[in-house]
């Protein structure tokens, strides 16, 4: 019970820190500001944990824990923007190479409708590629984990598909499938597929043999064993693989657009580069990164919802108490 209470304290701390985040970040960014905010929320952290059995972590609490894990990178990002602004505004580097954040902002707002359209195209390719890669990757992982024969047959192909430089086959895909969305999606699938397979196989193979014995004494068939034991057991591994895969899917889509496209952020990037329009180029880069980050965070949230029981999810929360 004490362990549970401590856990609650940890989550509380997480919530408090997260709510203090908005105020804390500018404090540190602007020099010499008072540390009052910090004191305020550290005293709230010290509030005694409630007695009795704590409630299950709610969605709000989980989101708060997630926000807590994000404020540090946010801080680094702010520092980075300040440095960028400083370098560009003072013209230490010529303006046509590095635009100021203000110029990028203006470009982004002025050309928003166009940029939004291209972003949606790239997002569509990425998401579709990622979903297909996840489905195909999981199916392949199941085949490999369950069958020795398929293991021997499929593993070399999977490995080959991985070591082949995807960028090198991009032109070929364009020749085969034209300038439409298909080659981009295929490229995203090819590049995101591998981490899903590897993590899926590792997860499915990590089932405690004793649990499989248990399942056998319960007379359960392979499907029930998969659904109730092997698959949930594989989820922590699989989610790790999916997080890698989703960021790679963006790369796949953009590379596909580089090779031959009439829309998408990769296409805009080439245009901006050709016109030496550095502001547009930067705006484009920011949007690409935003796609990757948003999708990554979505997978993180899915992970938090699917495997709140896993050790990797518990540690993060309890560390915030120290």
Q: Is residue 305 part of the contact set for other proteins (CB under 8 A)?
A: no
The span from the CA of 134 to the CA of 5, in Å, is 38
Please give the radius of gyration of the chain, using alpha carbons only, rounded to the nearest integer. Answer: 24
Residue 244's H or E segment, with its range, is helix 231-259
* Nearest CB to other proteins, comparing residues 3 and 31: 3
CA distances (Å), 294 to each of 10, 157, 243, 291, in order?
26, 31, 11, 5
Q: Is residue 218 part of the contact set for other proteins (CB under 8 A)?
A: yes
Is residue 131 packed enough to be buried (19+ CB in 10 Å), middle (13-18) or exposed (0-12)? middle
State in angstroms the smallest separation of the CB of 309 from other proteins: 4
* Residue among 243, 234, 215 at smallest CA distance from 138: 234
For other proteins, the binding residue among 213, 298, 302, 319 (CB under 8 A) is 213
State in angstroms the smallest separation of the CB of 210 from other proteins: 5
* Nearest CB to other proteins, comparing residues 101 and 308: 308
For other proteins, the binding residue among 307, 316, 318, 321 (CB under 8 A) is 307
State in angstroms the smallest separation of the CB of 142 from other proteins: 19
Piece of 40-48, 125-133, 204-212, 293-301 that binds other proteins (CB under 8 A): 204-212
Residues of this chain, 161-200, that bind other proteins according to CB under 8 A: none
* Nearest CB to other proteins, comparing residues 116 and 305: 305
Cβ(123)–Cβ(291) under 8 Å?
yes
Q: Residues 117-146 vs other proteins: string with x where CB under 8 A?
A: ------------------------------
Q: Residues 54-93 vs other proteins: string with x where CB under 8 A?
A: --x-------------------------------------
Backbone angles phi, psi at 308, to 5 degrees: -65, -20
Q: Is residue 216 part of the contact set for other proteins (CB under 8 A)?
A: yes
Q: Is residue 228 part of the contact set for other proteins (CB under 8 A)?
A: yes
Find all residues with CB under 8 Å of 283, minimum gap 6, and list them.
Answer: 104, 107, 108, 111, 115
* Nearest CB to other proteins, comparing residues 41 and 310: 310
* Nearest CB to other proteins, comparing residues 233 and 321: 233
Helices (H), 178-208: 182-205
The span from the CA of 301 to the CA of 23, in Å, is 24
Residue 138's H or E segment, with its range, is helix 112-146
State in angstroms the smallest separation of the CB of 59 from other proteins: 17
Question: How close are the terminal C-alpha atoms of the chain, in Å?
Answer: 19
Q: Is residue 315 part of the contact set for other proteins (CB under 8 A)?
A: no
State in angstroms the smallest separation of the CB of 218 from other proteins: 4
State in angstroms the smallest separation of the CB of 3 from other proteins: 7
State in angstroms the smallest separation of the CB of 233 from other proteins: 8
**Greatest alpha-carbon span in the chain:** 74
The span from the CA of 58 to the CA of 104, in Å, is 39
* Nearest CB to other proteins, comparing residues 229 and 253: 229
What would the two tokens of residue 156 be?
Answer: 């070399």
Piece of 17-25, 92-100, 120-128, 203-211 that binds other proteins (CB under 8 A): 203-211
The span from the CA of 250 to the CA of 130, in Å, is 9
DSSP label at 228? I
Binding site for other proteins (CB under 8 A): 3-4, 53, 56, 208, 210-211, 213-220, 224, 228-229, 232-233, 307, 309-311, 314
């Amino acid at each position: 019970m004490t362990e549970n209470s401590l856990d609650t304290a940890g989550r509380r701390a997480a919530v408090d820190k997260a709510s203090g985040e908005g105020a804390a970040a500018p404090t540190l960014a602007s020099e010499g500001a008072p540390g009052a905010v910090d004191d305020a929320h550290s005293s709230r952290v010290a509030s005694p944990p409630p007695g009795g059995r704590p409630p299950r972590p709610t969605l709000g609490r989980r989101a708060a824990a997630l926000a807590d894990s994000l404020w540090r990178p946010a801080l680094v990002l702010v520092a980075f923007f300040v440095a960028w602004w400083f370098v560009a505004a003072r013209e230490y580097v010529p303006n046509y190479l590095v635009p100021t954040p203000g110029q990028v902002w203006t470009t982004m707002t002025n050309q928003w409708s166009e940029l939004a359209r291209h972003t949606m195209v790239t997002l569509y390719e990425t998401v579709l590629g990622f979903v297909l890669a996840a489905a195909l990757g999981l199916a392949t992982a199941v085949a490999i984990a369950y069958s020795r024969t398929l293991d021997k047959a499929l593993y070399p192909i999977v490995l080959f598909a991985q070591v082949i430089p995807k960028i090198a086959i991009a032109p070929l895909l364009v020749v085969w499938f034209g300038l439409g969305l298909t080659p981009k999606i295929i490229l995203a699938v090819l590049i995101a597929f591998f981490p899903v397979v590897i993590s899926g196989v590792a997860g499915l193979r990590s089932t405690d043999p004793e649990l499989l014995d248990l399942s056998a004494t319960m007379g359960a068939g392979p499907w029930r064993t998969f659904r109730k034991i092997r698959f949930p057991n594989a989820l922590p591994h699989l989610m790790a693989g999916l997080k890698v895969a989703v960021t790679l899917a963006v790369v796949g889509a953009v590379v596909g657009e580089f090779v031959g496209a009439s829309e998408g952020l990769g296409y805009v990037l080439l245009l901006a580069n050709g016109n030496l329009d550095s502001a547009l180029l930067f705006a484009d880069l920011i949007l690409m990164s935003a796609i990757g980050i948003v999708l990554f965070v979505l997978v993180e949230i899915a992970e938090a919802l699917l495997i709140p029981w896993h050790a990797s999810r518990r540690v993060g929360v309890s560390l915030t108490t120290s």
